[in-house]
Amino acid sequence: MKKTLSLICLLAIFFTLAAPGYSQNYNSNTMAANPQWYIKVTDWNVYATWSAVAIIHHVTIENNSDIEYKDVKVRVCYSSMSTGGAGTVVSQEVGVLPVTLPPRSTATYLSKGHTLGAGSMFMNAVDLQVLGATPVLN
């Protein structure tokens, strides 16, 4: 009897949640408010010159949202190449990639390169994080 009652309660909960009109509080503005959730950088390269200028190039970006974005804000983290601090994050640079990402797309951008703040040939670019972007809402 207890098993039957438990099963009936579970089925009642399931059908209540699965009823038409039920949603998980989806906000239609989520894609515009949180572009970093939908933009993924899958490949990238940073070249640092002797004069401490960092150049980012050949950046492959996926836009998994239904809206277009432009001016992707990123942070690049650098680690030391010295033996004493190898692998330790020693610097960060924040910059904006001047690209426009169509909805539901994957493409490689900045093949000619784009200056992304300071860098050093004695540091490795180890991580790139998407911080945000400007949604293009028509």
**Band (18; pLDDT cuts 50, 70, 90):** low
Contact 36, 76 (CB under 8 A): no
Q: Smallest Cα–Cα separation from 106: which of 64, 45, 68, 57?
A: 64
The more confidently predicted of residues 74 and 53 is 74
The more confidently predicted of residues 60 and 8 is 60
**Segment 83-98 mean pLDDT:** 82
The more confidently predicted of residues 79 and 8 is 79
Contact 133, 69 (CB under 8 A): yes
**Band (90; pLDDT cuts 50, 70, 90):** confident
Domains in the chain, ordered, with CATH?
34-136 (2.60.40)
* Whether residue 4 has pLDDT greater than 80: no
The pLDDT assigned to 125 comes to 87
The pair of three-digit structure tokens given for residue 45, joined into one six-digit string: 């390269």
**Band (22; pLDDT cuts 50, 70, 90):** very low
Contact 91, 130 (CB under 8 A): no
CA-to-CA distance for 56 and 114, rounded, in angstroms?
Answer: 5
Strand pairing report for 89-101 and 39-48: unpaired
**Band (112; pLDDT cuts 50, 70, 90):** very high
CA-to-CA distance for 13 and 103, rounded, in angstroms?
Answer: 37
